[in-house]
């Protein structure tokens, strides 16, 4: 697993990416052959690049492996577009993240998530992005657009926040921070773990499956009357309610 934002670029300039930002996962999803022990002699099939979206970058600085000219150009163009988007989402989000935009494909849900939770992004654009595939990066949030229906990654509800997610049906890891309230009446599946911090409340009456573990801290409440399957452990602390 790599940091935001990671891509693999083949010798012919083709780009592979998955929202979880795994280089090996991107190669597998694209059906490409892996670099092997002979790559040092005949050249790599692909190079790996990653940049956190902060400050400046150069292709050489953010890339692992020897690039050809086409790869260098593709990497520079890709991350230049990302830098422009993150620098001014109000100006570029709709054009780049929707329709035929460079980051509109399903695999760029990690980028759309960052744009959607950015306070500079216009409300009208947030509403449209909310209906696309999203990948949460674990950033603490105090608001979630009510049209969001599916999120992979890590949803982290900020301390003391109250969030209602009426359309959310599937999510990744759910982390409800201290004194926060998270209500998801239509949520049926959590594809990761659930962590409810001290004095927090998580209500999911339709939830039937948690693919990871459940951890309910002191004085916290987790309400999931339809839950029938938890793949990992269940831990309920003192004075907690599950």
Q: Indicate the average pLDDT of the chain.
A: 94
Q: Are 57 and 79 in contact (CB under 8 A)?
A: yes
Q: Are 207 and 214 in contact (CB under 8 A)?
A: no
pLDDT at 16: 96
pLDDT at 1: 46
**199-239 pLDDT per residue, tens:** 999 999 999 999 999 999 999 999 999 999 999 999 999 99
Q: Are 175 and 192 in contact (CB under 8 A)?
A: no
Question: Which tokens is 20 given?
Answer: 């979880």
Residue whose token pair is 């029938």: 228
Q: What is the pLDDT along the chain (242 residues), one digit of tens a residue?
A: 457 899 999 999 999 999 999 989 999 998 998 876 555 555 688 999 999 999 999 999 999 989 999 999 999 999 999 999 999 999 999 999 999 999 999 999 999 999 999 999 999 999 999 999 999 999 999 999 999 999 999 999 999 999 999 999 999 999 999 999 999 999 999 999 999 999 999 999 999 999 999 999 999 999 999 999 999 999 999 999 99
Cα separations in angstroms, 238 against 160, 182, 197, 215, 217: 21, 21, 12, 12, 7
Report which of 225, 143, 154 is spatially closest to residue 185, judged by C-alpha positions: 225
pLDDT at 36: 66
What is the rounded CA–CA span in Å between residue 123 and residue 145?
10
Question: Which tokens is 175 given?
Answer: 């982390």
pLDDT at 37: 58
pLDDT at 34: 81
Bridge partner list, 134? 151
Using a pLDDT cut of 70, give the percent of the chain over it.
Answer: 96
Task: Give the list of residues 6+ apart from residue 151 with CB closer than 8 angstroms, or none.
Answer: 113, 134, 135, 136, 168, 170, 171, 172
């Amino acid at each position: 697993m790599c940091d935001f934002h990671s891509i693999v670029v083949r010798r012919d300039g083709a780009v592979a990416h998955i929202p979880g930002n795994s280089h090996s996962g991107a190669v597998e999803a694209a059906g490409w052959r892996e670099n092997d022990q002979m790559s040092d002699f005949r050249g790599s099939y692909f190079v790996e690049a990653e940049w956190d979206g902060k400050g400046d970058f150069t292709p050489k600085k953010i890339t692992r492996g020897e690039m050809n000219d086409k790869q260098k150009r593709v990497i520079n163009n890709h991350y230049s577009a990302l830098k422009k988007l993150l620098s001014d989402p109000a100006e570029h989000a709709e054009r780049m993240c929707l329709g035929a935009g460079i980051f509109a494909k399903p695999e760029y849900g990690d980028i759309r998530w960052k744009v959607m939770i950015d306070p500079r992004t216009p409300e009208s654009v947030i509403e449209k992005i909310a209906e696309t595939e999203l990948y949460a990066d674990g950033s603490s949030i105090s608001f979630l657009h009510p049209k969001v229906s599916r999120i992979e990654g890590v949803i982290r509800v900020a301390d003391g926040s109250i969030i209602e997610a009426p359309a959310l049906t599937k999510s990744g890891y759910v982390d409800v921070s201290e004194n926060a309230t998270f209500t998801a009446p239509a949520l049926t599946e959590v594809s990761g773990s659930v962590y409810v911090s001290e004095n927090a409340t998580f209500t999911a009456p339709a939830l039937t499956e948690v693919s990871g573990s459940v951890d309910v801290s002191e004085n916290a409440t987790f309400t999931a009357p339809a839950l029938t399957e938890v793949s990992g452990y269940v831990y309920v602390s003192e004075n907690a309610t599950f």
